[in-house]
Structure 1
């Protein structure tokens, strides 16, 4: 098979035809300041549009629409993540270096500049396709935060908004009002990221998954086993778990379960799962608690 020729972007034209220059003057140059103001207001920082008219001129509306969609979904956290990685507070548009393998439109962040990337033979196509998914993918590809924006958002919207009610309910079932629920987010996230290098889909449901293991799994199994109505079961678990702590973790291998299991070690009740079976059979979590007492 012949070696594929590397794609080389064409150089910008030196001078555009009169009709195009007039269109640029009427429909782009006259609105550039307005566009920059809109973006600056959305992000809370002065933002610059750095687009060469000789390369293209009509993607800014799509960027603003996509940015609004992104901020509506990820709110202040999204703005913080975006501004931390788009350090130059600048937008530009350029041809995708992937050449024929490039999608019609995409985006990335390079050297602190947000770049809209178009396929070399699709200039002007799908300008309005830049939605929140393009933005979060670009941000997460370069963020140096502990969690990706997708994972952080899921933690806040799923776990943090529900954990107080969950703690109260588990405490009532166990007759343990000061029970401690430890999601162990940082260690779990690091373990999953290392194990799933080519897959980041799990990140968007990261908080929901851990909440599910505690709520739809452990809590359900405790109720099913009759802990709420049985003083002896409550006392047995309290004796086995003097730390009053229920902690989630990732392990390489399970001792008894097929997809997940509970184990007691050094006075802590662990809910554990392998990376390969992440977020599956959630309702089974804790079905072996009775056997541990």
Structure 2
């Protein structure tokens, strides 16, 4: 398949087209920039190049290009609100770090015929609304699903936004009560449940599929819930001898989750005692 070649920029736009851009886009530009700047807490600009985008618009539709630019930006603003409603201050910080030039543009998708109608990415610090070369002006308000993957694709170090959100929303609020319950079951009031998030995140980051990030915190909580169930099933809560035996070997008072390449006998998960720590080992393959 031939590589897609973008069209050259138009040297000059017709007067009617320039008038529509002036009346329908330029007149709204300051307000649109202000809305985005307020949402992100930092000055933000629109860097749309009309001569690039108009090249893909049919000639009989070019006289309404100004309204199209405004619709694209309004679609982005709506999607940004959706993104920030879910990811809050962390999402804002990730966005601002990734979009380092604090600018938005509209560009043709270099995938050519294989490009979706609308999508987004970050290139050279600019957030780009991308359109299919044959579908410019379509689905302009359908941008909710594109901001997160665009931001996550920019290397940032540390946890991804999805993983961090999962820890905050599906782990931190529940782990305190669960830790207390397990402490009562094993007779160790100050028992430690160590999720080992950093090491496990790095171990899972080698996987080609990143879907695990969205449930990262919830899955760690589920393993500790599974531990609680096993301890109850084995009768620890009412058996002081079982409790005493565990307390002798669990010198660190710690249960710790560890992702490994391979478990013993290829089990899905297992418990391994090392240096006074009970590791809940999970295969990361």
The TM-score normalised by the length of structure 2 is: 0.90
1:190 aligns with 2:202: yes
Q: What is the CA-CA distance between 1:141 and the residue it aligns to?
A: 0.8
Return structure 1 stretches of 4+ with deviation > 6 angstroms.
Answer: none
1:21 aligns with 2:33: no
Look up the match of 1:59. 72
Look up the match of 2:284. 275
Look up the match of 2:63. none
Look up the match of 1:86. 99
The answer to whether the Cα contact below 8 Å between 1:87 and 1:113 also exists between their aligned partners in 2 is yes
* SS state at 2:146 partner: helix
* SS state at 1:232 partner: helix
1:158 aligns with 2:166: no
CA distance in 1: counterparts of 2:77 and 2:133, whole angstroms: 22
The answer to whether the Cα contact below 8 Å between 2:255 and 2:280 also exists between their aligned partners in 1 is yes
**Cα distance change of structure 1 residues 257 and 171 upon mapping to structure 2, 3 Å threshold:** farther
* SS state at 2:137 partner: coil
The answer to whether the Cα contact below 8 Å between 1:83 and 1:89 also exists between their aligned partners in 2 is yes
The answer to whether the Cα contact below 8 Å between 2:253 and 2:277 also exists between their aligned partners in 1 is yes
The answer to whether the Cα contact below 8 Å between 1:184 and 1:249 also exists between their aligned partners in 2 is yes
The answer to whether the Cα contact below 8 Å between 2:262 and 2:284 also exists between their aligned partners in 1 is no
1:34 aligns with 2:31: yes
CA distance in 1: counterparts of 2:33 and 2:162, whole angstroms: 27
Which ranges in structure 1 are unaligned for 5 or more consecutive residues?
277-293
The answer to whether the Cα contact below 8 Å between 1:99 and 1:119 also exists between their aligned partners in 2 is yes
**1:83-117 CA distance string (max 9 Å, x none):** 11111111111001111111111111111111111
Look up the match of 2:139. 126
**Cα distance change of structure 1 residues 43 and 113 upon mapping to structure 2, 3 Å threshold:** same
Aligned length: 269
**Cα distance change of structure 1 residues 7 and 257 upon mapping to structure 2, 3 Å threshold:** closer
Look up the match of 1:144. 156
The answer to whether the Cα contact below 8 Å between 1:81 and 1:143 also exists between their aligned partners in 2 is no
**1:38-67 CA distance string (max 9 Å, x none):** 000000000001002231524101110110
CA distance in 2: counterparts of 1:12 and 1:169, whole angstroms: 66
